Structure formats: structure tokens, C-alpha cells
Amino acid sequence: MALIRNSLLFICFVVQLNATSILSNYENAKIELEEYIENKKKEVNPRFRPLYHVAPPVGWMNDPNGFSFHNGEFHLFYQFYPYDSVWGPMHWGHVSSPDLVHWKQLPTALLPEKEQCFSGSAISQENGLTLMYTGRVAIDVEPYFNETQYLAFSDDGINFYKYDGNPVLSRAPNGSPDFRDPKIWMYEDYYYVVIGSQTTDKRGRVLLYKSSDMKSWNFLSVLGESNGDMGYMWECPDFFELDGKFVLLMSPQGLEPQGDRYKNTHQTGYIIGNFNYDTNEFEQEVAFQEIDFGHDFYAATTTEVNGKRYLIGWFSMWDEPHPEDVDGWAGMATLVRELRIVGSRITMQPVEEIVTLRNQIVLDSDIEPNQILVFGKAVELIINSDINQKVDLLLEGRKGGSKAWLRWDPETRKVTIDRGSGDIRQVEWYPNGSIHWQIFLDTSSLELFCGEGEVVFSSRVYALGGWKLTNESNQTVHIKANSLKRSTPE
């Protein structure tokens, strides 16, 4: 008996030693990564680095993840590969903010082990912040990957540990290997999650699940599905109530261009409808619409705080050049926008706190045709014009780089951003009231908000040495310009 007891004690000691070793290896990897980032930041070329948009300290960034509010702070995570400025094994980068404008860099939240840490979401609880993400694992047979849903927990909102019982959702109902990007929320006493997937005949869909503890999940319904012309995969789904309606936000892959629409590699948009928590059915009222009309916008996600619904997106695009990648980093996030439903559309406006970035008014005057203005790297422009006449503004770098023309044609009622060589995005605009344009220029980006946010464009424009504006219109326009302060880490 003593021999058996001693053997059991030895086995328990070995198991505990191995568990401690595994934990130690993961924690050591986190420490080594932060040391690497601190050293590597010194090599980054700052010529295109944003001053008030979230960007990775080094390496690659894509989808924003885990957008949430916890213990008085907003948290934003993002898909992150620190070791090169191209996509690689996915980590979760992490920043926080008191106001959605000023951001602080935090330690990397998740590191890949056997699984890559693909996109997901976060939910605040009394005992901490919980992440739900897709673990993508390579396998030896087609399609050579498997996607399941994982949990990670934190007591302090900074240090996260993965759940020992992962994965908590191991397969789609139809067995599709494309099963990713969980967005979790709580309603009454239950957790709900939507997950992007596809049908067996390659049509995008969004799946709805329910749980009492986040660890055991029951499939409820197909919340939405492509009818055949809405893409082969619906990524990064989000589902929320807004102004008395329900919104299914997602990023469909594989939409064919239709005139001015769907010109990017992949799109992001939404469906407006009604939802019943008893039947778990989402009834579409307004068909899919793009939410941003610029060149570089994808994988948007939202959070709600104090009755306001906020959105942020990836300010880049797949399969397009990223000129900053030679500088040691690539990818950034858009400004945070507040959402509303007006009529049959969602409007987006910058969060109110954006005014705290204003440094000083550098211009407030009428600008004649062919007049040229120069600004620094970070500026807000408020433009008023006669919208019964054409507007044509050229924005470019003071020392070179890329260019963009902002145009308005009253005959077609189209707002256009033209980056040259036929690289055009445009859409019809019907103002709800205000007719001004609000433009946010950062070192390598342009965001245009028309009127009260009925039409928004997010496009990367790489301006060297600050910005230059030329009024190529035949009319005089009024421009008020505010220089903006830095609000993100150097």
C-alpha cells in the first residue's frame, strides 16, 4: 500500500511539475515578447505612423477584437503579428482608453500555442474580463485547418489565462471548417454569441448560440444567410439593438462588384430588422448595405456603453499594398464612431470626445479657387460649400507621397474619393440636414464624414511631411482647420 501511495504521490508531483513548466513557458514567452517589442520599436520608421489612430507598436495588425468597457476603461484588442509587418501566427494586441480618443499600449493579451488566436470578442463581468476567440489549428487533411471557439480569463483586464477546457464550441452544426469570429453578449440571465460560417455549398451565414455559463453552448438558429449573391463567407459578425431595431453587422467575402458598390476586395455592411429572443428569429426589413464607402475599411466591431453604440474598424484592406510595411509595421484602426439609425440607414459620426484632440484653430476663412493651403500631419477640416455647385479638392503630401481628390457633383449627387489611376470610391449623398464635410487627416489616412454621418469614407492616403490642400473647385469654399494633438503611443 505504501508503494502504491508513494507512486501516486510521485505521479501527482510530475503532473504538477509539468503544468508549472507549461505555465512558466507561456509566461516567459509573454515577457520575452514585450522585451522584443520594446527593442524593435526603435527600428520603426515613423514617416507614416498615425498620431491619433490605434496602430501596432511593431509588426502587423488586422481585425479589431474584444471591443468592450470594463472597470471604467474601454478595451480594444486586435489581430497582431509582432515579428514581421505581414500577416503571421495571430496574437492579440491590446490597448485601453478612458474616452475612446486617448489610447494606452498594454501587454500582448494572447499568444498562440497549438492554436492561432483568431478574432473574437470580450465581455465584462464582476470578477473580470473574459475573451472568446477562435482557435485555428493546422491539421494534416483538407482543408488543413480546424476552427473552434476558446475562452480566456483575466482578473485585472491585463493578464489573461486560457481556459483549461478549451475549446468550448468545437464545430459548426453542418461541420463547416469555416467557423470563426465569435461576438458575445448577455441578455437577461444568458450569454449569446454569433459566429461567422458558411453553408455546405459555400454561402456565407451567421450562427446564433446560447449558454448559461459560456462553457456549454446550444445552437439556436441561423441568424442570417446568403441567398447566393451575398458572398461565400460572412466574417466578423456582430448583432445588436439600435434605436428600436436589430442590426446584423458582418463582413461578407466574395461579393461581386455592382456599379459603384462592392469595389473593395471584401466588404463590411449591415442588415436592419427585428429579432425575437423567444423564437430566435431575425426578420430582415432592410437589405444589406455597406457601412463605409472608402477604400480601406473591414472587420468592424461594436460595443455599447451608457446607451451609445460605438464602432471601430480595421483601417486597411486585404490583398492591397501596405506602403508602411517596409517601415516595420502595417495596419491601423479607424476612429471610433457613434452609430444611429436614421430612416433605413445607419449614420456614423466621430465620438463627441474627439473635440479634446483639437490643439488650435489654424484657419477659419473662405478659400478661393486654385488657392493652396498647408497643414501639419494631424488636422481636422470642416468644409462648407454651395452644394448646388461642384466641389473638387486635392489633398496630397507637402513632400510627396500619395494623393486623393474629394469631389461632389450635384447632378449625380455623388461624393467621390479618387486616389488616381481609376482608384475611385463614390456614393450618392442625400443630406439629412447639415451639408458640411468633416475630414480627419492623420499621417497616412483620410476619413470623410458627410453631413450628419449619412455617408462616410475611410481611405489610406500616404502624405509625406504633412498635408497640402488645393481648391480645384470653381467656387469659393469655407474651411475651418484645427490642428490635432497626439493621442496614441509613439
Q: Are 408 and 448 in contact (CB under 8 A)?
A: no
Q: Which amino acid is at 329?
A: W
Question: Positive or negative CA dihedral for 290, 295, 298, 301?
Answer: negative
d(CA 334, CA 61): 12
For the chain, give me the number of helices (H) and strands (E)? 1, 33
d(CA 172, CA 182): 12
d(CA 73, CA 60): 25
> DSSP assignment, residue 326?
G
d(CA 327, CA 321): 13
Kindly state the cell numbers that stand for 114: 497549438
Known active-site residue 238: no
User: C-alpha distances in angstroms, 163 versus 151, 271, 302, 315, 395?
Assistant: 6, 34, 25, 31, 49
State residue 167 phi and psi, 5-degree precision.
-80, 155
d(CA 404, CA 392): 10
Residue 219 contacts by C-beta under 8 Å, 6 or more apart in sequence?
173, 207, 208, 209
Q: Are 383 and 477 in contact (CB under 8 A)?
A: yes
DSSP assignment of 219-251 equals: EEEEEEE--SSS-SEEEEEEEEEETTEEEEEEE
Strands 73-81 and 104-110 come out as unpaired
Q: Are 294 and 320 in contact (CB under 8 A)?
A: no
DSSP assignment of 2-61 equals: HHHHHHHHHHHHHHHHHHHHHHHHHHHHHHHHHHHHHHHGGG--GGG--SSS---SSEEE
User: C-alpha distances in angstroms, 179 versus 149, 195, 238, 298?
Assistant: 8, 7, 14, 18
d(CA 208, CA 182): 10
Q: How far apart are the first and last CA of the chain?
A: 64
**Catalytic-role residue among 63, 181, 292, 296:** 63
d(CA 205, CA 195): 9
Active site (catalytic) residues: 63
